Amino acid sequence: MDFEPNDNQTAILDGLEQLITSLRIETPKEGETQVFSEALDAELATSGYLDIAREEDFTVLDAALVVERIARLPVTAEVTNSMIVAPLFPAGEVDRPLALVQGSPLAPARFLPHAKSLLVDRGDDLLLVKVDPARVEPVESLFAYPYGKLDSVDGLETRSLGAAMLAPLRRRWRLGMAVEAAGLMQSALETVLEHVKSRHQFGRPLGSFQAVQHRLAMASATAHAVRWLAFRAAWSDAEEDCAIAATYVQDSIVTFCYDLHQFCGAMGLTLEFPLHFWTYRLKAMLGELGGGSKQARAASTLTWSAAA
């Protein structure tokens, strides 16, 4: 067991850091709730990072490290689905950017305004829809992802990928959610820690009050637990581990986000303060794949299916 990146992983992360630095990514301006960085998305695609999990010398965990790092940025790119979910399918079968949705293909989906493909978990079948951007209606929301929905699937190329692919899809969907949440929680927490150290009330920094300290320490425990559950799941790529990690994430989001916003007061409710770029991606995840109860039940049945 080793919790430190190996040489390969260190090289990946160092290169990624250089790429991020070269793009000079800045915190989006006041007034925006979601920022999709075309430049980041394109650079990650052309530099080969998004295909890491398909490469012989690399692993799903290596891809997860990239996803976690990108999630810490205040801007988004379609990374998680491309790096974690798409490699389940032969190269060229599912074009990126990729959006995922459960139930109806007409439901709002993250990244759909930029997507070339939509995978639909229909419950008894996995449907691939080739997305025509002209058929996507953007959906405005507080969630810090670009959302969109199809006007209909009439006239769009659709194909069944088979019910057998549903379990792998859900496994990687849960994994992607957990890994991304690890990065989101880290940045959200750092933003609030900086605030409570510099903001003074009653002649003291907010962060010196024990009522604040305890809940931030608990938030930190949550963020770290998410991180290590997610990376373990990426390492094993086992259904059980992925479901456990996603359960923990969805079970934690409400308290985590509530506390972090609470300690920023009204400032935390403004679009000027960047916290929402991470917390409103976490909140968007709360309802993914049917919500926490679905993941918890999946974790239960996967873990104890063979038990007496």
Partner 1 sequence: MEFGWSEEEKAYRSRVRGILEDNLPANWDEIAVHGPGSELQTDFSRDFCKLLAAEGLLIPHWPSTHGGADGQPWDHFILGEEIWAAGEPRGPQYMNVNWIGPVLMRYATPEQQQKYLPPIVAGDVIWCQGFSEPSSGSDLASLRTKAERVDGGYIVNGAKVWTSYARLADYCFLLTRTSAGKSGIAILLVDMKNSPGIQVKQIPALIGEGDIHEVFFTDVFVPEENRLGAEGQAWEIISYALQNERIGIPRYEFARRTLDRAVAMLKAEGRFDDPILQDRAGRVLAKCEAARMMVYKVVDERAKSAPASAFGNLARFTVLQADHAVSDFMLEYMPAGMLGDDPMQQAHHQRAIAAGIASGAAEIQLNLAARRFLDLPSENTRGL
Instruction: Name the residues that contact partner 1, by CB under 8 A.
Output: 1-6, 9, 61, 65, 193, 196-197, 200, 203-205, 207-210, 212-214, 216-218, 220-221, 224-226, 228-229, 231-232, 235-236, 243-245, 247-248, 251, 292-293, 295-301, 303-304, 307-308
- Can you tell me which residue has the tokens 């010398």? 57
Tell me the three state secondary structure of residue 127: strand
Instruction: Report in angstroms how near the CB of residue 148 gets to partner 1 at its nearest.
Output: 31
CB of 293 to partner 1, least distance (A): 5
Is 17 or 38 the residue whose CB approaches partner 1 more closely?
Answer: 17
- Is the Cβ–Cβ distance between 38 and 75 less than 8 Å? no
For residue 3, the 8-state DSSP code is: -
Instruction: State the nearest-atom distance from the C-beta of 69 to partner 1, in Å.
Output: 13
Is residue 68 packed enough to be buried (19+ CB in 10 Å), middle (13-18) or exposed (0-12)?
buried
Q: What is the CA radius of gyration of the chain?
A: 19
- Gap between the terminal Cα atoms of the chain: 30
The two structure tokens encoding residue 211: 């009522």
Which residue matches tokens 């949705």? 101
Which residue's CB is nearer to partner 1, number 159 or number 297?
297
Minimum separation from the CB atom of position 70 to partner 1 (A): 17
* CA–centroid distance for 254 within its chain: 16
What's the CA gap between 176 and 172, in Å, rounded? 6
Ramachandran angles phi, psi of 22, nearest 5°? -65, -25
For partner 1, the closer CB: 36 or 235: 235
Token couple for 231: 């990376």
Kindly tell me which of 6 and 104 has the beta carbon lying closer to partner 1. 6
Q: How many CB atoms lie within 10 A of CB 117?
A: 21
Q: Which of 103, 122, 120, 125 is nearest to 156 (CA)?
A: 120
The span from the CA of 60 to the CA of 175, in Å, is 10
Shortest Cβ distance from residue 285 to partner 1 (Å)?
15
Q: How far is the CB of 236 from partner 1 (least distance, A)?
A: 7
Q: Which is nearer to partner 1, 159 or 197 (CB)?
A: 197
CB closer to partner 1, 166 vs 218:
218
Which residues 6+ apart lie within 8 Å of 286 measured at CB?
250, 253, 254, 292
What is the smallest separation between the CB atom of 290 and partner 1, expressed in angstroms? 11
Structure tokens at 41: 């998305």
Per the document, the length of the chain is: 308
Would you say 47 or 213 has its CB closer to partner 1?
Answer: 213
Q: Which is nearer to partner 1, 281 or 294 (CB)?
A: 294
CA angle 289, 112, 277 (to 5 degrees): 75
Min CB(22)–partner 1 separation in Å:
25
